Amino acid sequence: MIDYDVKGNLAKIRASLPEDVSLVAVSKFHGDEYLMAAYDEGQRIFGESQEQELRGKHERLPKDIEWHFIGHLQTNKVKYIAPYISMIEAVDSIRLMREINRQAAKYNRVIDILLELRVANEETKFGLLPDEMRKMLADDEWRTFENVCIRGLMAMASYTDDVEQIREEFTIAANLFSEFKIQYFADAEYFDCRSWGMSDDYRIACMCNSNMVRIGTTIFGPRTY
């Protein structure tokens, strides 16, 4: 039983998003019936952060769902999601990109990825600092990956009530996106994804040039881990 107004919440969020912003419904830790409630309202992009949980949902749920892997992905798990994943949002090493390329090639696929930028003040292990990302792109190895398509950047702001700080962090992401667009992807129309914004900060993100928000709690309710 769903004890949350998924349809109502989804409608409210959609109404509040600018037209060019796509919505990733973050369904991690929620049962199939929650996803189906959103699916029935036309939602097709869902975000999951655990390989095993995603595997089960992918097997059971409609095949036209586009799955985004939004969590930290271990290289040894890439092979399980490579056959079907639509986008891997949090790529933060050349090693992971190499493995995605290798596995995608096996299935004759090109997998869309985002580079995860670390802008938050917090002690998080994940994501690349701006200079680390610059260094990775300055090195040419990524150009050799025929089965990976770098679609843009993903970032998470600090967990704080300080709106100014969140705005500053998203602005770093927006500026870096523009920098890379000019320097490496000027002719690449596909480099167009700016994934920042979650339940508590997606409105700020939309003011900072986001065009992809990842929203869980506000649609599906609190998660029980």
Ligand X SMILES: *Cc1c(COP(=O)(O)O)cnc(C)c1O
Please, which residue, 100 or 155, has the CB nearer to ligand X? Answer: 155
Which residue of 10, 25, 26, 204 would you call a contact of ligand X, by CB under 6 A?
Answer: 26
**Contacts with ligand X in 52-111 (CB under 6 A)?**
70-71
Nearest to 92 by CA among 142, 39, 138, 128: 128
Residue in 9, 27, 43, 49 binding ligand X, rule: CB under 6 A? 49
Question: Is the CB of 12 or the CB of 143 nearer to ligand X?
Answer: 12
Closest approach, Cβ 53 to ligand X, in A, equals: 12
Residues 6+ apart with CB under 8 A from 133: 115, 117, 176, 180
SS3 140: helix
With binding defined as CB under 6 A, does residue 127 bind ligand X?
Answer: no
Q: Which stretch binds ligand X (CB under 6 A): 60-68, 96-104, 145-153, 196-204?
A: 196-204
DSSP string, 184-217: H-TT-TT--EEEE--TTTHHHHHHTT--EEEE-H
Buried b (16+ CB within 10 A) or exposed e, 185-213: beeeeebebbbbbbeebbebbbebebbbb
Nearer of residues 29 and 184 to ligand X, judged by Cβ: 29
Instruction: List the beta bridge partners of residue 24.
Output: 214
Residue with smaller CB distance to ligand X, 26 or 206: 26
Estimate to the nearest angstrom the gap between the alpha carbon of 51 and the chain centroid.
15
Nearer to ligand X, 71 or 152 (CB): 71
Total residues in contact with ligand X, by rule CB under 6 A: 14
Contacts with ligand X, residue ranges (CB under 6 A): 26, 28, 49, 70-71, 156, 198-200, 214-218
